[in-house]
Amino acid sequence: MALDIGRKRTGVAVTDPLKIVANALTTIPTHTVISFIAKYLAEQEVELLVVGLPMQMNNTPSESVTYINPVLRKIQKELPDLRVVQVDERFTSKLAMQAMIDAGLKKKDRQNKATIDAVSATIILQSYLEGLSYKR
């Protein structure tokens, strides 16, 4: 499972059991992340949680970590058995927008920020999965 945590919304993506393809699952209000994950874990097996870490071009964390880190700490406190991995999420919003254009989504649909967040989470997870296959 992957999260693209934002101030208001969090995009959620999951992968197939073989860890080949990431798919957008939904977008949820950020304040509901813990309850959403807990409910999902009760119904589905999740090996680890991949969370986007926004980085600047000079490889330092962006200002967004000020609202992401508290959510991460809460996840780790409330769900201590869930392994969490952070991955660089630079450019995921731009990649998400381009992916939606390439998929033929209308401009109105591309302006839906919830869609962008879910697609961004998908890109974060797919990037992580591709890194796994590269390491094999």
Strands (E), 9-132: 9-15, 22-29, 49-53, 84-88
Instruction: State the pLDDT at residue 112.
Output: 64
* Six token digits for residue 114: 């919830």
CATH, residue 97: 3.30.420.140
Length of the chain equals 136
103 pLDDT exceeds 80? Answer: no
Instruction: Give pLDDT tens digits for 67-97.
Output: 999 999 999 999 999 999 998 776 566 666 6
Domain span at residue 93 reads 2-135
| Best CA proximity match to 72, nearest among 130, 19, 30 | 30
Cite the beta strand spans of 30-110 per DSSP E: 49-53, 84-88
User: How do residues 3-19 score in pLDDT, each as one tens digit?
Assistant: 999 999 999 999 998 88
Q: What pLDDT does residue 109 have?
A: 65
Amino acid occupying residue 34: I
Q: How many domains does the chain have?
A: 1
